[in-house]
Amino acid sequence: MPNSPATVVASGLAHDSLGYSLLLGARVLASVYAGRSLNEALGLLSQEPAVARGAAQDIAYGVLRRYGWGEFLLGRLMSRPLTHAETQALLLAALYRLDTRPEAAPMVVDQAVAAAGELAGGGLKGVVNGVLRNFLRQRESLMLAAMQDETARYWFPPWWLARLRRTYRDGWQGIVAAGNTPPPMTLRVNQRRCSVENYRERLAGLGMAAKSVGSWGLTLEKPVAVDALPGFADGWVSVQDAGAQRAAELLAPEAGSRVLDACAAPGGKTAHLLESADLDLLALDIDPVRTRRIEDNLVRLGLTARVKAADCLEPAQWWDGRPFDAVLADVPCSASGVVRRHPDIKVLRRESDIRRLVHTQAAILDTLWSVLKPGGRLLYATCSVFVEENSAQIDAFLVRQAGAQRVAEEQWLPGENNDGFYYALLRKA
């Protein structure tokens, strides 16, 4: 990628201006297009004022959700893409703002031009000004043309859409629509501290409306900062999607069971298992930094487990030879079911990644099966909607492992109340 983005923003723009937010958003977007995850790219803004950081985050999420839309428009407005990555990203950010805030079009253009003055020595201000004003003049015809282009219309890579169509002939458009909307904020109530209904009443007392979802969850009518949640710091509640909460309910280990959570970070499902019953639980993750997040979550919730940074594919690193009663295998996957929370996946994921992930998932399944006791249960979990990672993966596993039985299987598709997840509960005969 030409002109790799800088990590420090130096600007003469007022830090509370739209131009500064566009500039920050462009820096973040250019970092993602250069290969960073969105979380990593947003981390570059840690020293920025909170208001500017929040506005830049909104811009980055909005542009990434609209995968291919802005690029299509620029393809009609320019003879070739700019070689300066951050200015190209600035144009995408400005187009997003022009479409979502049409009443502020003159200000958006002016502020985008001001932001362009901070990039490439200011030499592309005229280009930015001309492109955006041409967009406003041609807006109606450009929007009609975008509706005729599959990527610009649905905001997903063509290969992704093709896979969805093959598997979900009647429901693929609903999956796409859900993937393009902001996700709900769902809480998991720590029922060792209070009941779901009691916590809902506490929220209502603070003016936060919420509806029950599942046995442990509450979905907020409007998202809030976690610091605003009553008792969050004291472990009364955690943020966890309703679909993700299904894992502990399906595995449902008995009190006193020896349990392995093999790919545990950041620890949401680990904590839910421990909230459900007193367990002898080992939580693994290959990344030491993410492993510390598991520990931090358990401390906040007042829960105890053995936590170890180790590769689940190398049992010699972590297994003492005693088989487990239950295993949770929340395996690495395409994350195609949680794309609305992580829209950078649309940019960073490649179709070729699926075969590599399927191979890794199969290896994890076979390895973890060997540490499960006869009669024990393994829950295979992904946050994917691709069949290769889900039911097809389990079908192949059952052929390899004659003693495996499929006890339950659930495919959760992204919708109003939950993200996309797949679960297969397996029993070792």
Give the pLDDT mean for 133-158. Answer: 98
Model pLDDT, residue 10: 53
What residues does 186 pair with on adjacent strands?
Answer: 219
Q: What percent of the chain has pLDDT over 90?
A: 96
pLDDT, position 232: 97
Catalytic (active site) residue 263: no
Give the H/E segment covering residue 408.
strand 404-412
209 membership: H or E segment, kind and range:
none
User: Which residues belong to CATH 1.10.940.10 in the chain?
Assistant: 18-154
Supply the Cα-derived Rg of the chain in whole angstroms.
24
pLDDT band at 11 (very low <50, low <70, confident <90, very high): low
Q: Provide the total of helices (H) and of strands (E) in the chain, helices listed first.
A: 17, 11
> According to CATH, where is 3.40.50.150 located in the chain?
242-428
CATH superfamily of 185-240: Sun protein; domain 3 (3.30.70.1170)
Rounded CA-CA distance 40/33 in Å is 12
196-202 mean pLDDT? 97
Report CA-CA distances (Å) from 336 to 69, 209, 227: 19, 29, 29
The answer to whether residues 233 and 297 touch, using CB atoms and an 8 Å cutoff, is no
List the one residue out of 85, 105, 89, 118 whose CA is nearest residue 15.
118
Neighbours of 296 (CB within 10 A): 12
CA distance 282 to 319: 10
- Residue 24 confidence (pLDDT) above 80: yes
pLDDT, tens digit, for every residue of 401-411? 999 999 999 99
Q: Name 5's Cβ contacts closer than 8 Å, sequence gap at least 6.
A: 27, 30, 31, 34, 85, 86
CA geometry: angle at 90 spanning 53 and 21, to 5°?
20
The answer on pLDDT for 121 being more than 70 is yes
Residue 8 pLDDT grade (very low, low, confident, very high; cuts 50, 70, 90): very low
Q: Domain 18-154: which topology?
A: N-utilizing Substance Protein B Homolog; Chain A (1.10.940)
Amino acid found at 304: T
State the catalytic residue, choosing from 263, 312, 333, 383: 383
**CATH 3.30.70.1170 residue ranges for the chain:** 185-240
**Which DSSP letter does residue 233 get?**
T
pLDDT for res 2: 43
Q: What would the pLDDT profile of 344-400 be if each residue is shown by its tens digit?
A: 999 999 999 999 999 999 999 999 999 999 999 999 999 999 999 999 999 999 999
44, pLDDT greater than 70: yes
d(CA 219, CA 160): 29
**pLDDT tens readout for residues 57-114:** 999 999 999 999 999 999 999 999 899 999 999 999 999 999 999 999 999 999 999 9
352: left (phi over 0), alpha (psi -120 to 50) or beta: alpha
Write out the DSSP string of 30-70: HHHHTT--HHHHHHTTTTS-HHHHHHHHHHHHHHHHTTTHH
242-428 falls under which CATH superfamily? Vaccinia Virus protein VP39 (3.40.50.150)
Tens digits of per-residue pLDDT, 282-306?
A: 999 999 999 999 999 999 999 999 9
Residues forming beta bridges with residue 55, ordered by sequence position: none
Q: What is the number of other CB atoms lying within 10 angstroms of the CB of residue 206?
A: 10
pLDDT number for residue 193: 94
Instruction: Note the pLDDT of residue 12.
Output: 77
